[in-house]
Amino acid sequence: MAPSSGRRAPSAAELEERNTVGIRKEIVTNTVSDDYPDNYANEEHAWDKEDFRRTFKVQFHQNDQFEAQFSLIGVDASIANAFRRIMIADIPSLAIETVFVNNNTSVIQDEVLAHRLGLIPFTGGKKGLRDFMGFWRKPGPEEDAYATTFDTNTVSLKLAAKCTRNKDAPRDSRDPKVLYDNAHIYARDIVFEPLGGQAKWFSGEDTIRPVNPDILIVKMRPGQEIDIEMHMHKGYGWDHAKYSPVATASYRLMPKITILQPILGADAEKFANCFVPGVIGLERVTRQEAKTKGSGYEGHEGELKAVVKDAMRDTVSREVLRHPEFEGKVKLGRRKDHFIFSIESAGQWDSDELFMESVKTLKKKCGILRPQVTNMVQTF
């Protein structure tokens, strides 16, 4: 164990090196977290709230209603991953849970059709979805099937359609959607039936409806029909993926590209083509650079040089490491504490709200865990 006396502060260069995951041709280095006490001799790495407050940042790069991209800077991978897992599994949303099949003569089996319906994302008035609607409890063995079903925990939907021939269809038509009525049944054909006080919360623009009305549910031909009633309930993603409020929630580490030696002319163009467009830029060597001794650009005024334009776009394909002419001229890596999140909402939450809700949920979980840990320590 490292001695507790003679503490020293590491240099900025040392900290930068420790905070970088090395990307080499065949291996990845420095992947383990090491910012904890006694990991480095004669250095203090105890967690400090003020230091965390100074270094922690959230930077949004895109913030649309259903899609967001932002950087979470200054946290450990365990914290970033906790937010990701909470967004996927611990934020509630409504989805179709129970399907009552009155009639189904289509080619899709009842259970497959019910599964497809359950995965259709719905949206509606936010206040009603979050405050008015509560959680449904499954009836016990001695209870009636609807004993626990109320307007405050169940949303009723209906889907009824029958495929018939279109008498006005042109004789030379081969398109089923022209030849037949209700040949294709879409999510927009699902009808919301308000119960009790739901009309107050889910009317007009706030009515419960599919996020994407063009989701294809089933194809039918003349003589086939479906008559289905559905109940939506609130649930969590840890119970079933259909309750997850996100279509995707992922993160990647911030790429780091360091040009160690000048890359000029045709090599600069080839170097830029080793990365996705926008990562590497081509600029002319200035007169000042060409005159500066030790810059590596002496005598190359006006020639093209490669510069890092936007490292965040990089996919870290390592293509550049395959070419011998760039050996020793470039260094690839990723920042350990810079996480680029991509969130795509399924429709019931705005994308930025999901992150804020994940912060609240983690805070609640910590509040529950804290007294338990305290009691455990006091017991021993």
Q: Is the pLDDT of residue 35 over 90?
A: no
One domain for residues 105 and 216: yes
Contact 155, 94 (CB under 8 A): yes
- Do 126 and 233 lie in a common domain? yes
Q: Helical H runs in 173-246? A: 176-179, 198-201
What is the reported pLDDT for 5?
A: 52
What CATH number does the domain containing 281 carry? 3.30.1360.10
Provide the residue range defining the domain that includes 227. 93-244
Q: What is the residue whose two structure tokens read 């804290």?
A: 370
CA distance 156 to 178: 31
Q: What is the CATH number of the domain that holds 191?
A: 2.170.120.12
Q: What is the pLDDT of residue 14?
A: 87
Question: Comparing C-alpha atoms, which of 361, 266, 252, 232 is closest to residue 311?
Answer: 252
Partners of residue 231 on adjacent β-strands: 98, 156
Is 112 within the bounds of a domain? yes
118 neighbors 96 (Cβ within 8 angstroms): yes
Question: What is the rounded CA–CA span in Å between residue 250 and residue 69?
Answer: 10
Range from 218-232, 248-262, 293-307, 325-339 carrying the lowest mean pLDDT = 293-307
State pLDDT tens for residues 42-69: 888 888 899 899 999 999 999 999 999 9
State residue 1's pLDDT score: 42
In 244-373, DSSP assigns E strands to 246-259, 280-284, 304-308, 330-345
pLDDT computed for residue 256 by the predictor: 96
Confidence of residue 2 (pLDDT cuts 50, 70, 90): very low
C-alpha angle 271-273-276 in degrees, rounded to nearest 5? 115
Count of domains observed in the chain: 2
Q: Which of 294, 311, 328 is the last residue of a domain?
A: 328
Which pTM value belongs to this model? Answer: 0.87
Looking at the fold, whether 217 and 123 belong to one and the same domain comes out as yes
Q: Are residues 99 and 231 in the same domain?
A: yes
Contacting residues for 18 by C-beta, under 8 A, at least 6 apart = 10, 30, 34, 35
Distances 110 to 99, 101, 107, 262 between C-alpha atoms, Å: 9, 7, 9, 65
Residues 179, 300: one domain? Answer: no
Residues 184 and 302 in one domain: no
Domain stop point among 189, 213, 244 = 244
Q: What percent of the chain has pLDDT over 70?
A: 98
Name the more confident of 150 and 5.
Answer: 150
Residues 341, 249: contact at Cβ < 8 Å?
yes
Q: 283 and 240, same structural domain?
A: no
The reply to whether 309 and 187 lie within a common domain is no
122 lies in the same domain as 265: no
